Amino acid sequence: MLPSSFACAEASIAGGADPFVRVLVYLVVILVAAKLGAELFERIGQPAVLGELVAGVILGNLVLVHGSWSFFQPLRAAVLTDHAAIGIDILAKIGIIILLFEVGLESSVKEMRRVGISSFLVAVIGVVLPFILGYFVSAIFITKVPAGILALSPNFSIQNIHMFIGATLCATSVGITARVFKDMARIQTPEARIVLGAAVIDDVLGLIILAIVSAVVSSAETGNELSVLQIVKLTVIAVGFLLGALIIGIYFIPNLMKVAAKFRTQGLMLITSILICFGLSALANEAGLASIVGAFAAGLILEEIHFREFDAKVGIRDLIQPISIVFVPIFFVLMGIQVHLESFFVPSVIGISGGLIVAAMIGKQACGLVVREKNIDRITVGIGMIPRGEVGLIFASIGKALGVIDNDIFSAVVIMVIVTAFVTPPLLKWSIARAERKREPEA
Amino acid sequence: MLPSSFACAEASIAGGADPFVRVLVYLVVILVAAKLGAELFERIGQPAVLGELVAGVILGNLVLVHGSWSFFQPLRAAVLTDHAAIGIDILAKIGIIILLFEVGLESSVKEMRRVGISSFLVAVIGVVLPFILGYFVSAIFITKVPAGILALSPNFSIQNIHMFIGATLCATSVGITARVFKDMARIQTPEARIVLGAAVIDDVLGLIILAIVSAVVSSAETGNELSVLQIVKLTVIAVGFLLGALIIGIYFIPNLMKVAAKFRTQGLMLITSILICFGLSALANEAGLASIVGAFAAGLILEEIHFREFDAKVGIRDLIQPISIVFVPIFFVLMGIQVHLESFFVPSVIGISGGLIVAAMIGKQACGLVVREKNIDRITVGIGMIPRGEVGLIFASIGKALGVIDNDIFSAVVIMVIVTAFVTPPLLKWSIARAERKREPEA
């Protein structure tokens, strides 16, 4: 920051190195790319979200075409240190929180309860089967502890690696599926309800498994005994959160809204909703869950009915939409930017990632079979559960931090996450159309 | 990130140290405080923005009450390093960009031209007089180079310090004044037009002075000769930007909108407007101006007329408003949080800051005298030009980076910025009401 020449002083005033200006430039490029990608994919009959992902992959991998096109490299670091990259990452995360909040707003507790048992069964199968399959894929491809995994204690065994890889396959990323259902205006269908409900329960189950597996790995490395009490505590907190949020929310929110309606300042309805959304997201995280679970719960309890206190011309969904239009695409483009296409050329990475992709896809197909309701398209449910998205990425990065996942396994997990994200929209689109064609002659 | 025990693993999963979760918690606290402060001040007849500033001052200085209430300390560092703090800072800056964009949207080039000459004269007086007064205040209070100013070369003289302090008094911060006019629904008055127009020109003039003073200081420190060509270049770029943006914008934007209107994806009107706003903000910065100048210019050229291509039920102002409601208060609360009340107890700081406050306020009062139009309240114009706000803070931080401003002078400048920000809303409110009372019997 201390310029030693006129040129430097000019640069510091012109803000060439100002992180905020780079945030603005990143945002302009990301949003232009998102809209061009979305437009192109909509015109060829694909969901807009896939266009945003592809636009991101192109932006991020331009550096492979020419080494000096490295503008997006700071956004692709394993650990973000660049201030502008940290800013974009936070804006992207606000985007995914807002998306899950919107999805929650379009759902209601009553409807969720109606598909509750099915969602629960789908979720349990969708966690247990991928975990077992992931464990075996790992056992087939990883026969000895890779050299890349350091910091071993005598207690550390190769089974710890298998367990962790199994865990990364557990959690469904509801973001992409929700976006496809939303883009196709099918968010109100029973299939969407079951998948979105299951993805939430699934997230809870997946994070409990992650917490337990992490604890097992950590105690294996340090040689400490893992207390059963700690595992039980983790589990109780996680399960209790959603139930607690829903029950308290339903009784507490209407009263809060009555108070907020008495305020004179503008925008209270929007601010109160955003506060509940951000507040529950932070609370979910405190409870050991992904923050998106809290955002979904916030949307779920904030049914339009709570806003009757306000003399509002527009509903909360209309108020959230402009924020969603600007922030949600940032997340999907950033996910694309963080794909390293060069990983696809490492043979060992292709082997394990191929196995993981098959395990990830097959593991969720059994989900459809346990749906109890009639006239539900089981294939659509199974396909809707495929994407691992940001949850898979979060799991992989925790494994890397724990020292149980090395760079190659990490790349394989990332590729699995990307492929499941990429195949889901066209498969889901195909499946929904097929199911509706099948249903129409009957109706 | 590498947990060595179960407790750590739990913490990393629960996200206790996750910067994004802390961003969410900061946002919840900041937005609750903003709304409570705004509500309280509106009820006692003060502008909402002052309530948000005071709420911020209270939050930031809670640490003085009890040392362990240090939750907001990361937001108060001279150079932000904490990831969550960087995130909040970027969200606040997006807020101020959106506010200036909104202010620009509520103005039009035609109206700006109508008050153009007055705005220009007001701006010139408002830059020249405070610069001279600031120089003399500095010369009275600073008789030798303070020990805190290091990295001196034999060429560095005390006049460099006086010049820089004078420069920090130049630029009017349009944010607070715009917000007061907006809160009072007086943004369409000729007084508001002149002040907002002058603040923009003023910003350009102030930043040219800053660029030149910085260059003089840098060359004095390094002993390099400063080329006249470089000063001319800086000046031409800065002046050319606004004119260029306006002229190109008026011819280019309607065509861009015609293309955007052909897109099928949702939210194109909003996204295109946001892109023009962010793009011009980044460009302004590249041209050596504050990014808010670009945001204002973007609003100015995006008159509603450009949206007739779109089959829109709501205007662009309605679409921007939800984003503004959430993001703008973050900026004002953050400005309050960054006030260090303990500085007020250092005698030397009080002396120079008192002198600067007087210079800052008197220096802008002459502005009203050069207004040519009749039936304009000159006192309102003079008061509207008082706040230095974020521009003054930016200037002071650049001076600190250049090594020409030490910690004490920095505190004095910050206090001047705070006091001018605090006195403006009640003074302006009083002045507007007084002028309207005076006018009514005549009408």
Segment B263-281 shows an average pLDDT of 85
Q: Nearest CA to CA, how far is A267 from chain B (Å)? A: 6
Chain B residues whose CB is inside 8 A of the A91 CB are 90-91
Per-residue pLDDT band for A112 (boundaries 50, 70, 90) equals low
Q: What is the mean pLDDT of chain B?
A: 78
Q: What is the pLDDT of residue B197?
A: 78
- Note the pLDDT of residue A17: 56
Closest residue of chain A to B279, computed from CA coordinates: A28
Q: Give the CATH number of domain A22-442.
A: 1.20.1530.20
Alpha carbon distance B294, A15 (integer Å): 14
pLDDT at A442: 54
| Mean pLDDT computed over A207-213 | 73
pLDDT band at A35 (very low <50, low <70, confident <90, very high): very high
Interface touch B214/A13, C-beta < 8 Å: yes
Q: In which band, very low, low, confident or very high, does the pLDDT at A15 lie, cut at 50, 70 and 90?
A: very low
Average pLDDT score over residue span B137-155: 71
Confidence of residue A84 (pLDDT cuts 50, 70, 90): very high
Mean pLDDT of B23-27: 95
* A13, A83, A210: residue with CB nearest B211: A13
Q: Which one of A24, A163, A268, A293 makes the best mutation probe of the B interface by having the most chain B beta carbons within 10 Å? A: A24
Q: Which positions in chain B touch A402 (Cβ < 8 Å)? A: 2-3, 9
What's the pLDDT tens digit per position in B231-253? Answer: 777 677 767 777 787 787 778 87
In chain A the first and final C-alpha atoms are separated, in Å, by: 70
Among partner residues A12, A27, A323, which is closest to B278 by beta-carbon distance?
A: A27
The distance of B199 to chain A (nearest Cα, Å) reads 19
Residue A333 has pLDDT above 50, yes or no: yes
- Minimum distance, in Å, between the CA of residue A421 and any CA atom of chain B: 21
In terms of CA atoms, which chain B residue is nearest residue A322?
A: B319
Residue B63 has pLDDT above 70, yes or no: yes
Is this complex's ipTM strictly greater than 0.90?
no
**What residues of chain B lie within 8 A of the CB of A263, using their CB?**
35, 39
Q: Using the beta-carbon criterion (under 8 Å), do B401 and A12 form an inter-chain contact? A: yes
In this structure, the number of other CB atoms found within 10 A of the CB of residue B307 comes to 21
Give chain B positions within 8 Å (CB) of A207.
13
Please give the pLDDT value at position B113: 67
Which structure tokens are listed for A377?
Answer: 């398209």
Query: pLDDT class for A12, splitting at 50, 70, 90?
Result: very low
- pLDDT confidence band for A308 (50 / 70 / 90): low
The confidence band for B291, taking pLDDT boundaries of 50, 70 and 90, is confident
CA distance B39 to chain A (A): 6
Instruction: With a cut of 80, say whether residue A20 has pLDDT above it.
Output: yes
pLDDT of residue B11: 33
The string of pLDDT tens digits covering residues A232-247 is 776 777 677 777 877 8
Spell out which residues of chain B touch residue A89, defining contact as CB-CB under 8 Å. Answer: 20
Rounded percentage of chain B residues whose pLDDT exceeds 90: 14
Decide if B39 and A221 are in contact by the 8 Å CB cutoff: no
**Residue (of B219, B215, B199) closest to B104 by Cα position:** B199
- Choose the most confident range, by mean pLDDT, from A135-144, A203-212, B196-205, B298-307: A135-144
pLDDT of B42: 80
More confident residue, A90 or B300: A90
Please write down the HEC assignment for all residues of A356-416: HHHHHHHHHHHHHHHCCCCCCCHHHHHHHCCCCHHHHHHHHHHHHHHCCCCHHHHHHHHHH
pLDDT at residue B323 tops 90: yes
Sequence letter at residue B389: G
- pLDDT confidence tier of residue A377, bands split at 50, 70 and 90: confident
Taking the CA of residue A184 and the nearest CA in chain B, the distance in Å comes to 12
Provide mean pLDDT across the span A303-328. Answer: 76
Closest Cα in chain A, distance from residue B66 (Å): 25
- Cβ-based neighbour number of residue B45 at 10 Å: 8
Q: Per the CB < 8 Å rule, is B2 touching A86?
A: no
Chain A nearest CA to B22, separation (Å): 8
| pLDDT score for A58 | 92
Give the model confidence (pLDDT) of A396-443 as tens digits: 767 776 778 776 787 788 778 778 877 888 888 888 888 888 777 654
Give A266-291 pLDDT, tens digit per residue: 688 889 899 999 999 998 877 766 67
Query: Does position B402 have pLDDT exceeding 50, yes or no?
Result: yes
B42/A264 Cβ within 8 A: yes
pLDDT at B279: 93
pLDDT at position A6: 30
For residue B115, pLDDT over 90 is answered with no
Virtual CA dihedral for A52, A55, A60, A65, nearest 10 degrees? 170
pLDDT of residue B15: 36
Residue A30 has pLDDT above 90, yes or no: yes
Burial of A372 per CB tally in 10 Å (0-12, 13-18, 19+) = exposed
Partner residue facing A230 (CB), from B6, B32, B326: B6
* CA A337 remoteness from chain centre: 15
Distance from CA of B344 to the nearest CA of A (A): 27
User: How far is the alpha carbon of A111 from chain B, nearest alpha carbon, in Å?
Assistant: 27
Between the ranges A15-19, A134-138, B45-49, B238-242, where is the mean pLDDT highest?
Answer: A134-138
Alpha-carbon torsion, ordered B16, B21, B25, B28, to 10 deg = -160
Q: Which of A18, A215, A322 sits opposite B9 (nearest CB)?
A: A215
Mutate to test the interface with A, among B5, B101, B163, B218 (most CBs of A within 10 A): B218
The per-residue pLDDT for A253 is 78
Q: Are B271 and A325 in contact (CB under 8 A)?
A: yes
Q: CATH second-level architecture of B100-442?
A: Up-down Bundle (1.20)
Residue B397 has a CB neighbour count (10 Å cut-off) of 17
CB contacts of A291 in chain B (<8 Å) are 15, 20-21, 24
* Percent of chain B residues topping a pLDDT of 70: 79
Chain-chain contact of B265 with A42 (C-beta, under 8 angstroms): yes
Report phi then psi at A197, rounded to 5: -60, -45
pLDDT at A226: 61
- Give the residue from B25, B43, B326, B395 with the most A CB atoms within 10 Å of its CB, the best one to mutate: B326
Cβ B215–A9 below 8 Å, yes or no?
Answer: yes
Q: Where are the domains of chain B?
A: 100-442
CA distance A256 to chain B (A): 13
The closest CB to that of A13, out of B3, B210, B325, belongs to B210
Test B226 with A6 for CB contact under 8 angstroms. Answer: yes
Work out the average pLDDT over B32-56. 85
Predicted model pTM:
0.79
Q: Report, as an integer, the average pLDDT of B2-31.
A: 61
Chain B residues with CB inside 8 Å of A25's CB? 282
Higher pLDDT, B97 or A242: B97
pLDDT of residue B368: 78
Average pLDDT (B364-382) is: 80
pLDDT band at B325 (very low <50, low <70, confident <90, very high): very high
Q: Are A421 and A387 in contact (CB under 8 A)?
A: yes
pLDDT at B16 over 80: no
Inter-chain CB proximity A322 and B323 less than 8 Å: yes
Instruction: Identify from A4, A12, A13, A270 which residue to disrupt to test chain B contact, counting B C-beta atoms within 10 A and taking the largest count.
Output: A13
Distance from CA of B272 to the nearest CA of A (A): 9
pLDDT at B7: 32
Closest Cβ opposite residue B12 in set A13, A28, A401 = A401
Mean pLDDT of B133-144: 85
Hey, are the CB atoms on A271 and B325 less than 8 Å from each other? yes
For A210, the closest chain B residue by CA position comes to B13
Task: From A410, A351, A344, A332, select the one nearest A79 (Cα to Cα).
Answer: A410
**Nearest residue, CB atoms, B271 vs list A91, A320, A325:** A325
Interface mutation vs chain B, best among A6, A204, A218, A280, most B CBs within 10 Å: A6
Please indicate whether residue A421 or residue B33 has the higher confidence score (pLDDT). Answer: B33
Chain mean position to CA B20: 26
Greater confidence (A110 vs A384) lies with A384
